[in-house]
Amino acid sequence: MRLVQLRAKEIKPVNTKFGERILIVASGDLKGEIKIWRPIDDPAIQNIRANQFFTAAADSQGKYSPIADPETNQDPYVPESPYSPLANMPPVRKMGFTAPVSIAPTPTPTLVSIVPTPTLVSIVPETPKIHPHVQKLAEIMAQCVAAIRNELPGLDAEIEQKYATSLFIHASREIF
């Protein structure tokens, strides 16, 4: 499922054999005309007006469903228990489209007294050791990239990557 921006061309109530429904004729998402049928009491369509943009979710079958704007959502979520892991996080709106908030602590500088005067040293995370097999594969890939650059200079970076990947696959079959 993906979110798309559509422009409502026309919104009208229509009597169907399933009862009264709302028909939204919209444009956008590389299609000339999109028809969206919704129940008359759908809360997601209450704020949609003609010639205005709205957000819709497109599923894998090509059906579109308007979604409510984050401003129209309910109150922010508050955990019921103070012992919940979410209790220490800032409030988050249900179904909101805000970016996740990172609460990871930042490393603080520490004083190291190797020399007579204290100096400020920042904590640098240690890089993990690379498995020898992975190191060998990385060397083979580097050789493939170098070979493509030597044999076919001036290629686009994306095309170069595709050729090098193909060469790597064939080379790894021969070597291993």
User: In this model, does residue 13 exceed pLDDT 70?
Assistant: yes
Q: What is the pLDDT of residues 78-107, one digit of tens each?
A: 666 666 665 555 554 444 444 455 555 666
pLDDT at 83: 63
Candidate ranges 19-23, 75-79, 124-128; pick with highest mean pLDDT: 19-23
Looking at the chain, the whole-number percentage of residues with pLDDT higher than 90 is 3
3-state secondary structure string across 23-55: EEEEEECCEEEEEEEEECCCHHHCCCCCCCEEE
The residue behind tokens 């996740």 is 100
Query: What is residue 105's predicted lDDT score, i.e. its pLDDT?
Result: 60
The pLDDT score that the predictor gives to residue 113 is: 57
- Max mean pLDDT range (75-84, 117-126, 157-166): 157-166
pTM of the model: 0.40
pLDDT at 93: 47
Side-chain-facing half-sphere of 39: CA atoms under 13 Å: 4
pLDDT range class, residue 120, cuts 50, 70, 90: low
CB 24 within 8 A of CB 48: yes
Q: What's the mean per-residue pLDDT of the chain? A: 76
Can you read off the two tokens belonging to residue 36?
Answer: 């969206």
162 strand-pairing partners: none
